[in-house]
Amino acid sequence: MSFSETISPFFGRCILVWFYATNAMNVLGDWRLVAEQLALKHVPLPPLVLLVVLLVVFMGCLSLLFGWHTRHGAVMLFGLTVVATVTMHDFWHYGDPGARAVEFGIFARDLAICGGLLMLVGMGPGPFAVDNASGGGKGKRR
């Protein structure tokens, strides 16, 4: 196994953690604004939804960062991202071409991130992960 095959999955997981963690920090910093945006999209109980979202992001980030139950963490983040993307970035409802293009860009980015998460589900965390530690965990598949 080459160096790039060994280290790439770890760096990929770190980049996904960075993406989700920075967005979680933005939600914490603008809690009221994000709750208002959720309410405008007819999401019930926005503060409770935000709390659940932050818990899922936190658990998913820990999972990906350490490579511990990586497939479960990736599935959680995948589900969250799909639901958030379809709910919050419904570009097909926008009449203004500029706003529609912006929302489509975010929608496409989020779907690409979902693709990366599905790669983790299918291929596993790579060699630098708690899941693959000697004597550790079930399913040492890579």
R_g of the chain, CA atoms, integer Å: 17
pTM: predicted TM-score of the whole model, two decimal places: 0.90
In a domain, 82, yes or no: yes
Q: Is residue 141 part of a domain?
A: no
The number of distinct structural domains making up the chain is 1
Asked if residue 14 is part of any domain, the answer here is: yes
Rounded distance between C-alpha atoms, residue 61 and residue 16, angstroms: 8
**45: domain range?**
3-132
3 vs 57: CA distance, rounded Å: 30
Rounded distance between C-alpha atoms, residue 35 and residue 30, angstroms:
9
**pLDDT tens by residue, 26-85:** 999 999 999 999 999 999 999 999 999 999 999 999 999 999 999 999 999 999 999 999
Q: What are 121's two structure tokens?
A: 């589900």
pLDDT tens-place string over residues 95-139? 999 999 999 999 999 999 999 999 999 999 999 999 988 654 455
Alpha carbon separation from 34 to 48, 57, 77, 87, 137 (Å, rounded):
12, 16, 19, 13, 38
